[in-house]
Amino acid sequence: MTAAVSALGPLLAELVGLTDRFVISGSLALALHGLPVTPGDIDLEATAADAELLGRRLARYQLSRVRFSATAVVRSHFGVFELAGARVELMGDLQIRDPAGWSEPFLTGRDPINLATKHGRVWVASRAGLADQYQRLGKRTDLITTLREETGR
């Protein structure tokens, strides 16, 4: 079990009452969907306003505060935290640039799935949402086909 998987329980305990304000994305979402990945961190996505709220709740674990940040490929309200030995990246209104331009903000929040974990229920980016995100980022191409085959999209 990785630090990211182990930290899910303490993270959810810190965010009691706010678990409907974010979705888990990235490699932890893939693992929660049962794909054979080893999560290296915890990615949380939310609206910009909810990222600020979540950032305040996690302030004592803050490595960098939530603030607008942009590269040539991604932009979001971004903050980094460390909790129970795991890195937690919080992204508000994440947008990804591809040849067609910038994506709509917070695409993984469109159709999340509420999954049961041993720590309680959490909202997780859907397989289709993860496939779209990874394709836009040019990451984990090995899993995009698997995600798309299982969702039919």
pLDDT in tens, 17-59: 998 999 999 999 999 999 989 999 999 999 999 999 999 999 9
Instruction: Please tell me the total count of domains within the chain.
Output: 1
Instruction: Report if residue 104 sits inside a domain.
Output: yes
Q: Report yes or no on 27 lying in a domain.
A: yes
Radius of gyration of the chain (CA): 14
**Residue 140 pLDDT class (50, 70, 90 cuts):** low
> Is residue 129 included in any domain, yes or no?
yes
Residue 52 covered by a domain: yes
- 110/73 Cα distance (integer angstroms): 21
| Span 73-118, pLDDT tens digits | 999 999 999 999 999 999 999 999 988 899 999 877 888 999 999 9
User: Residue 108 contacts by C-beta under 8 Å, 6 or more apart in sequence?
Assistant: 23, 25, 45, 94, 125, 126, 129, 130, 133
Residue 24 lies in a domain: yes
In a domain, 132, yes or no: yes
Q: Give the whole-angstrom CA distance, residue 100 versus residue 25.
A: 23
Where is 124: in which H helix or E strand?
strand 120-124
Expressed as residue numbers, the domain containing 113 is: 3-145
Check which CATH number belongs to the domain holding 72 and give it: 3.30.460.40
Determine how β-strand 113-117 pairs with β-strand 101-102.
unpaired
Average pLDDT of the residues in 65-79 = 97
Domain assignment present for residue 94? The answer is yes
What is the pLDDT, as a whole number, of residue 146?
74
- CA pair distance 103, 135, nearest whole angstrom: 12
Question: How many Å apart are CA 28 and CA 44, to the nearest integer?
Answer: 10
What's residue 1's pLDDT? 66
Examine residue 152 and state whether it is found in any structural domain, yes or no: no
